Structure 1
Amino acid sequence: MLHSLLRPLITLSLTICAALSLTAHAAQPGKDYIEIKPARATATPGKVEVLEFFWYGCPHCYQLEPDLLLWSKKLPRNVVLVRQPAVLGESWMTLTQAYYALESLGEIPRLHGHLFNALHNEGRRFNSPESVVTWAATQGVNPDKLKAAFQSFTVHTKANRAKQISQEYRLEGVPALVINGKYLTSPSMAGGYAGALRVADELIAQELKKLGK
């Protein structure tokens, strides 16, 4: 008899606890992420874009990179991760130009992680294009081609555009993830690296639902 009376109460209690748990873990606007107004156009129409703002000199970006890489491999086909160098000061420009110079030579897929590692594990300092060229040569990159890429109009234009984009998003720090040009989250907002990726997952699911995918 007692068990019969308690069973509904236990069921109700478990239901409430489950609901509270879901509420507690749901991403909270203004806390775990902010809404970008007006929303920005993305470079991948028809897909959900995740824009990662980073800077090679940022230790937090370096620490996020392994988790981000694993996470990106599990994304649905209609979700795309786009790396976006951030520029929050003139001292950031050399490494931003390094990204675009290496990209122009098709070397980012191979050397993106190695450049992070050189800075944060090997103690290298890249304060000039020449220092990057010298290091890249040890990685099998043609120094003359990389030097020419650094000096190219295209690389300078992209680096200046990166600075402009950072300002347009009112970026205050890195790493940061922008979901579909509408929402910005970061480890500092979401309580850590795993938290930022969890929030990104929720916002991605929300955007996919809007796209009917």
Structure 2
Amino acid sequence: MRIVLAVLAMMVSLTAVAQTPENGTDYKEGEHYETLAEPVPTSTSDKIEVVEVFAYTCGHCYNFEPLIRAWKKEQKDDVAVVQTPAMWNATMEAYARGFYTAKAMELLDEVHMAVFTAVHQEGKQFRSAEQWADFLETYGADRERVLKTFNSFGITSQVRQADARVRGYKITGTPEMVVDGKYRVSSRMTGSHSEMLRVVDHLVEQIRQGAL
């Protein structure tokens, strides 16, 4: 009898472990992620879009960057990861303009983490086109082109679109992630950055299987 009870206890224990959030099988809406009342259109109709909303001035985003970099490398071809800067004020808009300027000049992959490091390790600020031009010039960018691009119509349009998306996502802090324009995930709900990524993995798989 004792042996039977021990086996049953072990089976119950194993079942409980298999259903823990860490294994991605028991994530619940309203507890581990939120469903947006009004979905935001995605920019990639043929892929599952995962948006990372970040801010260069955010210390949590700085710590999160190495994690999401490694995570992105593991994604399948049907997943599109999109970075979107948050803008709570005029200072953050300058950082967003710098982000899109670096992207337009095909330097973003090279400088993205370097901007985080400069802000959080070296105390640098990027609140003007001139400061961005000084920085990007060290990576081979033409200074005058940076200044022209920074305030161009194209960058202004991207900044406005990004701001509209973030407002639509109902973002309350950074970093946060939005899956398929419908599901918002934050570390405040999941408890940690690594768990946030596991929830995103779960949602992506559910969408891939047609369960969401």
TM-score scaled by structure 1? 0.91
1:17 equivalent in structure 2: 13
2:189 equivalent in structure 1: 189
Distance verdict in 2 for CA 1:186–1:158, change over 3 Å:
same
Letter in 1 for 2:6: I
State the shift of 1:23 in Å.
3.4
Unaligned residue ranges in structure 1 (runs of 5+): none
Secondary structure of the 2:210 match is helix
State the shift of 1:168 in Å.
1.3
Distance 1:79 1:38 in 2: 22
How big is each residue's C-alpha offset from its partner over 1:69-106, in whole Å with a ceiling of 9 and x where there is no partner?
10110111211211111112222100000011111111
Query: Are 2:136 and 1:136 aligned?
Result: yes
2:91 equivalent in structure 1: 91
The 10-residue stretch of structure 1 (177-186 or 16-25) with the greater mean CA deviation from structure 2? 16-25
Moved over 3 A (4+): none
Unaligned residue ranges in structure 2 (runs of 5+): none
2:48 equivalent in structure 1: 48
Aligned-pair identity (%): 27
Letter in 2 for 1:17: S
Distance 1:39 1:164 in 2: 13
What is the RMSD computed on CA atoms of the aligned residues?
Answer: 1.7
User: Is the contact between residue 169 and residue 178 of structure 2 (CA under 8 Å) also seen in structure 1?
Assistant: no
User: Is the contact between residue 40 and residue 165 of structure 2 (CA under 8 Å) also seen in structure 1?
Assistant: no
User: Is the contact between residue 72 and residue 81 of structure 1 (CA under 8 Å) also seen in structure 2?
Assistant: yes
User: Is the contact between residue 40 and residue 168 of structure 2 (CA under 8 Å) also seen in structure 1?
Assistant: no
The 10-residue stretch of structure 1 (98-107 or 10-19) with the greater mean CA deviation from structure 2? 10-19
Letter in 2 for 1:174: T
Aligned pairs, how many? 208
Query: Are 2:78 and 1:78 aligned?
Result: yes
The 10-residue stretch of structure 1 (36-45 or 62-71) with the greater mean CA deviation from structure 2? 36-45
Distance 2:94 2:40 in 1: 26
2:120 equivalent in structure 1: 120
Distance 2:89 2:31 in 1: 26
Distance 1:89 1:22 in 2: 44
